[in-house]
Structure 1
Amino acid sequence: MDKKYTILIIDDKSENLHYLNTLLNEKEEYQVRATTDSNFAINSSKLNPPNLILLDIKMPNLDGFEVCKLLKKEENLKDIPIIFISALDDVQSKVKAFEEGGVDYITKPFEKEEVLARIKTQLNIFESKKTISNLLEQQDFFLKKIIHEMNTPLSIISLNIDNLESNLGYKEEFETIKASSKSLSSIYNDLYYLSKKEKRVSQMSHINLMRFLSSRLAFFDEMANVKNIDMSLDIHEEFDIFMDSYELERVIDNTLSNAIKYSFEDSNIDIILEKKEDFYKLEIKNEGIQIADTKVIFNAYYQQKDKNVGFGLGLNIVKEICDKYEIEIIVSSINNQTSFTYIFPENLIYKGNR
């Protein structure tokens, strides 16, 4: 039967190597490599990585802590679980072992069942991590595939609806289609943000918030019209902020789209820009379904149990961006009156000439 897992043992005591080698060879799923030479172990691991390493601490030339540190620097070895094996039983040694990257610590003299149980546990954890990593890679590929497939039909829908409206004139059905298209477009932009956020470089610029909000209100106009919602922009203080416009768009669009989605028909959404004492704020208020717990709505895929309310990934993205810029978020939802308030830190406010 083929051996499934390769376990590397590094210990300067040959009697320890012999004992562990004999113990592990009783299990058919283990293939054992053993050495007293730390440098040889490191070099051989680079060429032929094991699945798990049992590593002694007190060794000549290189101690176990230094060996672990060197192994963790190698890209193809950094995730391999390392279990320290040592006669040292003090707290400081154990803490240092975990700080250097060890996943477990077994003290000598060895207990057969303990050694086998700890190795099995760490291999199971390692396999689970690999499975999760593979799933995340597949998810990333799937996400990028969806983004690619969504872009073209969204553009075609938008173009053809505009052409039909030019030829046939205004029709309520066109408004509904355009509103749905805008909703899909907002979802598309959230997915695009998620797929690119690790590699994307922020493009910082001075943004006049009043003009920016006006353009986003125009974008969501059809969505609001379908529910006969009146959106008003109330400017008490006009100011500019210094941030990435695409990230600002994700914050504004997700807040507005949720406000429209969960507002009652024939209601109002108020967007207020003002300065209060020594801080600048943006507040978006709507009349609609009350949020039961404002503390958890920024969790990804949050669903409100008693009502058909779910915020997906949008508000999770909002929270992530606001945390990046240290923008404070205050959410209030009482008696079907909900408000999202964004308080901008001083370093984001642009005080130059507009």
Structure 2
Amino acid sequence: MNNFFNSIYTYILHKSNTITIQQANIFTTLFIFIFTILFAYLLITENYHDYERALYSNEKSLDTNISQTIYHADREKKLKTLLIKNTIAIVTLAFILFGIMLGFYKIFNTLLQRDMQAFLDFFKETAHSEQVLNPNVIFFKEFKTMVSYANSMVDTISEKKRDLEELNLKLEDKVKEKTANLQETNANLVKEKELRDNILQAQKEFLRHTIHETNTPLSVILTSIDLLSMNNKKDRHLSKIEAATKNIFNIYDDLSYLVKKDQVEYPRITVDLDLFLKSRIDFFSEVAQLSKLEFVYTSSQSQTFIYFNETKLQRVIDNTLTNAIKYTLANEKIYIGISVMGSFVELSAGSKSKEIKDTDKIFDAYYREEEHIEGFGIGLRLVKSICEEENVKIYVDSSDEKTTFRYRFKMMGE
């Protein structure tokens, strides 16, 4: 039975979940009225049945005697009068009960609506101001309990709100402080950047003037060495001077390229790689011989043309050759070669040296695997940057037996 009423209750809630209190009042009043009419109807029906039974009993005892007939007629009249009186009494009583029930319902409903309205006004005002609900204005005990919970909720929300406002003020102060610090830091960074730019510009100007002033004495030294070699036999001391001067020339060319590469265009031209490589080998042969080394050059064909800038190509070849001279073991040979591989021409330089532990790091600026070897450590980094700009592939193979650098250029016309 309980499950049945629960099902009806759930169904009504589901179907009338948007009903108003006024609509509920109307429905309830109609229900009480219908119930009252039904109750009166049942009582009247039962009273009428009693009347019929009494009338039937009266007719059954009727005989031909005139006086008896008059008696029964009078009795039937009294029964009918009694039926009417009972019917009126039942109807009157039913409507009196209806009025009493409706009155009590209206009273409690008014109190309920008043409590509900108090809660509605409370939540409406609390959304904009911090106020509590007076429990004395509430009639029902359950609602009074809800008042204590609601007031406690308001107190908690108010406390949290004050905490948030205080936290917000602290955060604003911290933001202002951090902003001021950032502005100060930014101003210092701007000053540091200006100072750094000025220093870099001064360094570039100094380096540019130094390179310009270095070119003339180096050229004089090399020319003087050539003149001395023509008139006198070249001795070991003169060879050392020439080798050192050529090394300085290589460093000079690297620095000159680094200073000018962002301001000067380097146009490509048709270059015979075989002929160009031979000229650079001849230039560094004296340096190799002084280090007790020997260049061995081989080429698969006499002419190999590439479309490249000569200055950039010279930086790649010169740094490869000087690097080989620095790291090749004494009394060994440096094998230089050119080979054609499809649409590419590959330049290789290999010799016996100590194994390179990290073939990737050697192209980093200022990195040297052997610290005792003199140099700035910028040569191979410069080589890598040029190869990246010109789409030249670099391969490095190193072991205890041999270390080889290979550069793969695109052949002209391919």
Distance 1:297-1:157 versus aligned 2 partners, 3 A rule: same
> How well do the aligned residues superpose, as a CA RMSD in angstroms?
2.2
Task: Please point out which of 184, 188, 203 is paired with 1:120.
Answer: 184
Contact 1:297 1:311 in 2 (8 A): no
Distance 1:311-1:284 versus aligned 2 partners, 3 A rule: farther
Residue 151 of structure 1 corresponds to which residue in structure 2? Answer: 215
Contact 1:304 1:310 in 2 (8 A): no
- Distance in 1 (alpha carbons) for counterparts of 2:189 and 2:196: 10
Contact 1:327 1:343 in 2 (8 A): yes
Residue 32 of structure 2 corresponds to which residue in structure 1? Answer: none
The alignment of Structure 1 onto Structure 2 pairs a total of residues equal to 243
TM-score (normalizing by structure 2):
0.55
Task: Please point out which of 268, 276, 279 is paired with 2:341.
Answer: 276
Residue 364 of structure 2 corresponds to which residue in structure 1? Answer: 299
Please state whether the residue corresponding to 1:312 is helix, strand or coil: coil
Contact 1:330 1:341 in 2 (8 A): yes
* 1:255-296 per-position Cα deviation (integer Å, ceiling 9, x unaligned): 001111221221111111112355331111122243332111
How much does 1:121 deviate? Answer: 2.1
- Distance in 2 (alpha carbons) for counterparts of 1:125 and 1:269: 50
* 1:110-153 per-position Cα deviation (integer Å, ceiling 9, x unaligned): 93212212212212222222222112111101211220221122
Please state whether the residue corresponding to 1:302 is helix, strand or coil: coil
Contact 2:269 2:307 in 1 (8 A): yes
Please state whether the residue corresponding to 2:209 is helix, strand or coil: helix
Residue 265 of structure 1 corresponds to which residue in structure 2? Answer: 330
- Distance in 1 (alpha carbons) for counterparts of 2:395 and 2:408: 8
Distance 1:218-1:306 versus aligned 2 partners, 3 A rule: closer
Q: How does 1:307-318 map to 2 (within 5 A)?
A: 308=373, 312-318=377-383
Task: Please point out which of 120, 133, 144 is paired with 2:197.
Answer: 133
Contact 1:282 1:341 in 2 (8 A): yes
Please state whether the residue corresponding to 2:396 is helix, strand or coil: strand
Please state whether the residue corresponding to 2:361 is helix, strand or coil: coil
Distance 1:207-1:219 versus aligned 2 partners, 3 A rule: same
Contact 1:288 1:338 in 2 (8 A): yes
Q: How does 1:339-350 map to 2 (within 5 A)?
A: 339-344=404-409, 348-350=410-412
**Greater Cα offset, 180-189 or 163-172:** 163-172
More strand, by proportion = 1
**Greater Cα offset, 211-220 or 225-234:** 225-234
- Distance in 1 (alpha carbons) for counterparts of 2:347 and 2:221: 33
Letter in 1 for 2:356: I
Contact 1:204 1:242 in 2 (8 A): yes
- Distance in 2 (alpha carbons) for counterparts of 1:185 and 1:306: 22
Letter in 2 for 1:254: N
Residue 98 of structure 2 corresponds to which residue in structure 1? Answer: none
- Distance in 1 (alpha carbons) for counterparts of 2:280 and 2:292: 17
- Distance in 2 (alpha carbons) for counterparts of 1:141 and 1:125: 24
- Distance in 2 (alpha carbons) for counterparts of 1:154 and 1:215: 19
- Distance in 1 (alpha carbons) for counterparts of 2:401 and 2:195: 44
TM-score (normalizing by structure 1):
0.64
Letter in 2 for 1:301: Y
Does residue 213 (structure 1) correspond to residue 304 (structure 2)? The answer is: no
How much does 1:170 deviate? Answer: 2.6
Q: How does 1:9-24 map to 2 (within 5 A)?
A: none
- Distance in 2 (alpha carbons) for counterparts of 1:130 and 1:279: 46
Please state whether the residue corresponding to 1:350 is helix, strand or coil: coil
Distance 1:170-1:283 versus aligned 2 partners, 3 A rule: same
How much does 1:232 deviate? Answer: 1.4
- Distance in 1 (alpha carbons) for counterparts of 2:358 and 2:195: 34
Q: How does 1:24-63 map to 2 (within 5 A)?
A: none
* 1:152-175 per-position Cα deviation (integer Å, ceiling 9, x unaligned): 221121122122222221312221
Identify unmatched segments of 5+ residues in structure 1.
Answer: 1-106
Distance 1:351-1:115 versus aligned 2 partners, 3 A rule: closer
Residue 290 of structure 1 corresponds to which residue in structure 2? Answer: 355
- Distance in 2 (alpha carbons) for counterparts of 1:306 and 1:168: 38
* 1:278-325 per-position Cα deviation (integer Å, ceiling 9, x unaligned): 533111112224333211112221132665365522112111111111
How much does 1:201 deviate? Answer: 1.4
- Distance in 2 (alpha carbons) for counterparts of 1:351 and 1:182: 35
Does residue 203 (structure 1) correspond to residue 255 (structure 2)? The answer is: no
Distance 1:165-1:242 versus aligned 2 partners, 3 A rule: same
- Distance in 1 (alpha carbons) for counterparts of 2:180 and 2:261: 42
- Distance in 2 (alpha carbons) for counterparts of 1:335 and 1:115: 59
Residue 188 of structure 1 corresponds to which residue in structure 2? Answer: 252
Does residue 164 (structure 1) correspond to residue 222 (structure 2)? The answer is: no
How much does 1:239 deviate? Answer: 1.8
Distance 1:310-1:296 versus aligned 2 partners, 3 A rule: farther
Distance 1:340-1:311 versus aligned 2 partners, 3 A rule: farther
Letter in 2 for 1:313: I
